[in-house]
Chain A
Amino acid sequence: EVQVVESGGGLVQPGGSLRLSCAASTFTSRDYWMSWVRQAPGKGLEWVANIKQDGSEKYYVDSVKGRFTISRDNAKNLVYLQMNSLRVEDTAVYYCVKVGSWYWFDPWGQGTLVTVSS
């Protein structure tokens, strides 16, 4: 059973913006740190950002700092990734994952594809 569902991906021009959403279906996301992990075509996994349960702490990989913002709406059990000033190198499948107590990522959804191209 799919436990997280990501949405919001698509084709965008360089310099554009997208907002990704993540809905948890079988757990209450507000009880956990949540992260975004991405995978460029044919490449490996890359941790992008994460957010504390109450949204008070947020962390980012250096390459997206100042351009991406992670947020959450605990009332709706949703996590977001606002992506601005997108670059060609941001093209990837973006996965939303729950951070387990021992600093691990699970479950994994199908991800949502972001393509940055002119």
Chain B
Amino acid sequence: QTVVTQGPPFSVSPGGTVTLTCGLSSGSVSTFYYPSWYQQTPGQTPRTLIYNTDTRSSGVPDRFSGSILGNKAALTITGVQAEDESDYYCVLYMGSGIWVFGGGTKLTVL
């Protein structure tokens, strides 16, 4: 069974840059998995940040960007702000009508 892997919790200082990754237990992530990214603060519903690898959802600040880095999908936040402290989830489309979410990465802004 395919597992989507996300990294350990991250800590970053305000104004810093952080890159969160989304990989596969077996194989490489490519644009054909149509990676998307979601932000969720405790007690809130998820918010869509990025879809189709690198397209920002409406209203998402341009400090959020998506890409493929090596064999993983990546979400980069530049100029991190306190309000960015959240859980971040990626999801990959596996084909045949099936999606798999990663386990999420908790981002702390110190």
Per the 8 Å Cβ criterion, residues 16-74 of B in contact with A are 34, 36, 38, 40, 45-48, 51-52, 55, 57
Cβ of A47 within 8 Å of any chain B Cβ, yes or no, is yes
Tier of interface size on chain B: 20 to 34
Verify A102–B34 contact, CB threshold 8 A.
Answer: yes
Cβ of A32 within 8 Å of any chain B Cβ, yes or no, is no
Dominant secondary structure at the B interface: strand
Verify A45–B38 contact, CB threshold 8 A.
Answer: yes
B-contacting residues of A (Cβ < 8 Å)?
Answer: 35, 37, 44-47, 50, 57-59, 61-62, 95, 100, 102-111
CB within 8 Å for A104 and B51 given contacts A35-B99, A110-B45: yes
Give bound CA distance, A35 to B55, whole Å: 21
Cβ of B110 within 8 Å of any chain A Cβ, yes or no, is no
Dominant secondary structure at the A interface: strand
Verify B45–A59 contact, CB threshold 8 A.
Answer: no
One of A35, A59, A105 near B36 (C-beta < 8 A)? A105
Verify B100–A104 contact, CB threshold 8 A.
Answer: no
One of B7-15, B76-84, B101-109 at the interface: B101-109
Question: 29 A-B Cβ contacts within 8 A?
Answer: A44-B104, A45-B38, A45-B46, A45-B91, A47-B91, A47-B100, A47-B101, A50-B99, A57-B97, A58-B97, A59-B96, A59-B97, A62-B1, A95-B45, A95-B46, A102-B34, A102-B36, A102-B52, A103-B51, A103-B93, A103-B99, A104-B36, A104-B48, A104-B51, A105-B91, A106-B48, A109-B45, A110-B45, A111-B45
